[in-house]
Structure 1
Amino acid sequence: MDIFFQVVLPIMAVFGAGFVLQRIRVLDVKSLAAASIYIFLPALVFTNLYEASFNQGYTIIVIYAFFLLFTMIFFVKLFARIFKWQESVESGAILTTAFMNGGNYGVPVILFSLGEAAMPYAIFLMVLQTMLMNVFGVYYASRSTSGFLRACKTVLKMPATYAAVLGIGFQAMSINIPESVYSTLTMLSNAAIPLMMVILGMQLASITSLSFNWQVILSAAGTRMILSPLIIFLFICLVPADPIIKSVILIVSAMPSAATTTMYAIEFDSEPDLVSSITLVTTLVSVVTITVLLNVIT
């Protein structure tokens, strides 16, 4: 229970604050999300990767990200074949199982449970997951060549992509940044995580339409919240890596569905109500599953 009160409950309280605020005031979530994406998140990405010491562990994170992505897609396609789901339902299930909330949710959980030493790995993984989601998420939501090209353009428009490249490049070339500049970046970086947490609560509060197709919901939620961490547990048992890296990828693999997948589902009409329902269910279930997982890890 200590893990719940020390890690999970404080995080849920911040999510709850965003949820309640949105229910009371109905603010423009897109504007706050834009501020996070274009100002605070790039600063967080740059400062953490600039201070990181790159090693073989980052290669393992890349392998893990692609392995989990294609494994989740495989299982969803298997369920779609067994249960004879329509293509739009399959696409919605892929969005909610292959793409987890490693940013708004995963990063604060890792920070609170593993500490600052794990943050460079968590941030690197968050950027990588975002890029994969922008490409494969848009592709599966649209199921078209034009969607794939649009996805690639989306990645190139994301400031966090360039912040990651600059952070890694500056660190590799040992470029010194003036203290006045870096202190500003650090200030923005420190505000990024709580802002991301509040935005997630507001995004959940903005869900208005639900579709409780329990066959799909249980299949997708079970894949995302149970099957995913079990598969990654076997993965980290077979792959030699630093214990911190193993803990980071195990925690991220157990995260609920990414809230941003709902935007893709709405834009490309890939069962948005179903995607919203799975996102909400997995987020609620995570209160229990994340608590159990953190107790096992610690």
Structure 2
Amino acid sequence: MLQALSTVLLPVVLVAGLGALLASRFPIDQASVSRLTLYLLSPALILDVILKTPVQAAEALHLGAAYLLTLILCLCLGALAGWGRPAAERRSLSAGVGIWNSGNMGLPIALFAFGQAGFERATVLFLASFIGMYLFGPAVYTLGRAGSNPASALRGMVRLPAIWVAVLAIVLRFLGVTLPEGLTRGVSLLAQATLPMVLLALGLHLGAGGWPRLSRALWLGTAARLIGGPLIAYAVGRGLGLSALNVQVLVLSASMPTAVNALLLAREYGADTDTVAGIATLSTLGSVLTIAAVVTLLPGLG
């Protein structure tokens, strides 16, 4: 399993490292990179995933609901880890714990651990992660901020196109509408560019700002993400009566490190990007050991 993890982690480190090298040599407009991902590439990925996911609707809804409940509890755990810290840092700790990397790490590791059946269910979680991230991420970064209110948080959620694209894709799939081949190929091309661009964004931030300053809050946030996440997922999966395989896939997904998309949202909403980037970096490095431990324990979770 460690060998499999290294084959997944090495490309992540390589792409992010190249982004860091680039940002250390040249001035890069990181806001433009973030917006390109948030407003164009991520919606294309959501559309592509929804139209191609083979899991039955009822099972997908059950699993997706378990994911969203896990996400909400992890957001609360992150806020608890930031108790007593400045409000901006506490919000970023909440996002860093609650928004995890179920895509470019979660999908291949699920395939290694469970085969095609697990991969298909991990794809459902990947989709749920996008919907949950774009629903709750803006709220986490805006609620409680000076001048903010529930209405402004709602506007922050609905102005991101990912939510509208998800609704459109679900309607198209429900109606059995098949898009023209040329259109689906174009969407797939954009979707394939999403994950590399997200990793480059993390590298660009680290290259411009340097290695994160290690603080007690960062260590707590990282521990909450890598240890608290899978524990919460297990409790939610059993509590909602998921099948053994779905519980295992949910726990594995929740053991992933912080998603770089949390950093993109933090930049878009003017939040504490250094804290999010720090948790993303530490949790990605630490996940080599913690994911290996989770995979070892997974057979006993059925």
Q: If the TM-score is normalised by the length of the shorter chain, which range does it land in?
A: 0.7 to 0.9
1:3 deviation in Å? 1.4
Give the 3 Å change call, closer, same or farther, for CA 16–133 of structure 1 in structure 2: farther
Give the 3 Å change call, closer, same or farther, for CA 187–69 of structure 1 in structure 2: closer
Per-residue Cα deviation, 1:92-121 (whole angstroms, up to 9, x for no partner): 432332333445654565577666634641
From 131, 137, 144, the equivalent of 2:140 is 137
1:294 deviation in Å? 4.5
Tell me which residue corresponds to 1:149: 151
Tell me which residue corresponds to 1:167: 169
**Counterpart Cα distance in 1 of 2:223 and 2:106:** 18
From 187, 190, 214, the equivalent of 1:188 is 190
**Counterpart Cα distance in 1 of 2:61 and 2:125:** 13
**Counterpart Cα distance in 1 of 2:265 and 2:47:** 26
Give the 3 Å change call, closer, same or farther, for CA 3–239 of structure 1 in structure 2: farther
**Counterpart Cα distance in 1 of 2:242 and 2:148:** 39
Task: Check if 1:250 corresponds to 2:251.
Answer: yes
One-letter identity of the residue aligned with 2:181 = E
Per-residue Cα deviation, 1:79-138 (whole angstroms, up to 9, x for no partner): 566xx5555554443233233344565456557766663464144222222223334312
Give the 3 Å change call, closer, same or farther, for CA 147–284 of structure 1 in structure 2: farther
**Counterpart Cα distance in 1 of 2:47 and 2:270:** 34
Tell me which residue corresponds to 2:100: 100
Tell me which residue corresponds to 1:29: 30
Give the 3 Å change call, closer, same or farther, for CA 18–252 of structure 1 in structure 2: farther
One-letter identity of the residue aligned with 1:257 = T
Give the 3 Å change call, closer, same or farther, for CA 91–127 of structure 1 in structure 2: closer
Residue 175 of structure 1 aligns to a residue whose secondary structure is coil
Q: Is the 8 A contact 1:104 1:200 kept in 2?
A: no
Give the 3 Å change call, closer, same or farther, for CA 286–156 of structure 1 in structure 2: same
1:285 deviation in Å? 1.7
- Structure 1 vs Structure 2: percent identity of aligned residues? 20
TM-score, normalisation: structure 1: 0.79
Tell me which residue corresponds to 1:128: 131
Give the 3 Å change call, closer, same or farther, for CA 266–195 of structure 1 in structure 2: closer
**Counterpart Cα distance in 1 of 2:7 and 2:37:** 26
**Counterpart Cα distance in 1 of 2:271 and 2:40:** 30
**Counterpart Cα distance in 1 of 2:50 and 2:166:** 7
1:244 deviation in Å? 5.8
Q: Is the 8 A contact 1:257 1:283 kept in 2?
A: yes
- Is 105-114 or 203-212 further displaced after alignment? 105-114
TM-score, normalisation: structure 2: 0.78
Alignment of 1:1-298 (within 5 A): 1-52=2-53, 53-76=55-78, 85=85, 87=87, 90-102=90-102, 106=106, 117-118=120-121, 120-140=123-143, 142-143=144-145, 146-208=148-210, 210-214=212-216, 216-241=217-242, 245-261=246-262, 273-294=274-295, 297=298
Q: Is the 8 A contact 2:96 2:221 kept in 1?
A: yes
Q: Is the 8 A contact 1:97 1:224 kept in 2?
A: yes
1:55 deviation in Å? 2.1
Give the 3 Å change call, closer, same or farther, for CA 275–18 of structure 1 in structure 2: closer
1:173 deviation in Å? 0.5
RMSD of equivalent CA atoms = 3.4
